[in-house]
Amino acid sequence: MGEQSNRFHREIVRPSTEELLKVTEGQMILDIACGNGNFSRRLADLGAEVVAFDYSATMIERALLRSTDYLNRIQYQVVDATNYDSLIELGIGRYDGAVANMALMDIADLTHLTRALQQLLKRNGVFVFSIPHPCFQAPNTRKIHETEDINGEIVTRNSVQISKYLTPEPTETIGIKGQPVSHLIFHRPLSYYVQLFLSTGFVLDGWEEPSFQIDEDSGKRFDWYELPPAVLFRFRKL
């Protein structure tokens, strides 16, 4: 991710997350699974006070190294998002909002985090998160890029072929091209997330399905234009 993050984060995740989160000066925001702190620093630039945590102590070390100019605005911690007691220690009723960028699919059990967020957020506080779109990036999805000559014009089409969607299941995957080993993600249908949060006192009041904008390289590769590669939710605490 580095300092500038990758194209997926810059064009798909960050703009929609900022639109749904609507950070204002002085808000307290919880950044869940913060990685190297890329978005934590962005939140601070937008005026927020940030508490950021990750399960990986190494990631937190990287975040601290990259955030030397932000340590008066960002507090980094090593926390397990599946440990309810550790989450509650972050501060009951402390946060105006919480965010998790492309992380919930990496967490085996979301029930403890969901319960904790109901306690951590202030009344009317929001939780915004992004995940790979489960309708178009389900286990064993085939990405298809076709080129056809139609009446002297080269036409390209992108499509996906899926055979699984409804059943939650773990699967090994490559998240970023070039990573040395695969990792587990936990596929869940859209209804799983909605039912989980509604059952713990949240309401769904924001939803985005962003896609890439067509550019000069369109037609040369599989890219996500009409098929959104991610989906973002905003749940609000009642």
pLDDT bin (cut points 50, 70, 90) of residue 215 is low
Give me the CATH number covering residue 65. 3.40.50.150
Full domain range(s) for residue 122: 7-132+189-216+229-237
61 domain-assigned? yes
174 domain-assigned? no
**Is the Cβ–Cβ distance between 183 and 175 less than 8 Å?**
yes
68 domain-assigned? yes
Q: Cα(123)–Cα(129) distance, rounded to whole angstroms?
A: 18
45 domain-assigned? yes
Tracing tokens 């945590």 back to the chain, one arrives at 53
Is the predicted pLDDT of residue 226 greater than 90, yes or no?
Answer: no
Task: Tally the domains of the chain.
Answer: 1
pLDDT bin (cut points 50, 70, 90) of residue 221 is low
Separation in Å, CA 71 to CA 52, 78, 183? 11, 15, 31
137 domain-assigned? no
CA atoms within 13 A on the CB side of 123: 0
**Residue 200, exposed/middle/buried by CB under 10 A (0-12, 13-18, 19+)?**
middle
28 domain-assigned? yes
Which among 31, 22, 237 has a CA at the least distance from the CA of 126?
Answer: 237
Q: What is the pLDDT of residues 73-113, one digit of tens each?
A: 999 999 999 999 999 999 999 999 999 999 999 999 999 99
173 domain-assigned? no
49 domain-assigned? yes
Residue 53 contacts by C-beta under 8 Å, 6 or more apart in sequence? Answer: 30, 31, 32, 33, 34, 60, 76, 77, 78, 79, 81, 90
Quick one: pLDDT at residue 158?
Answer: 84
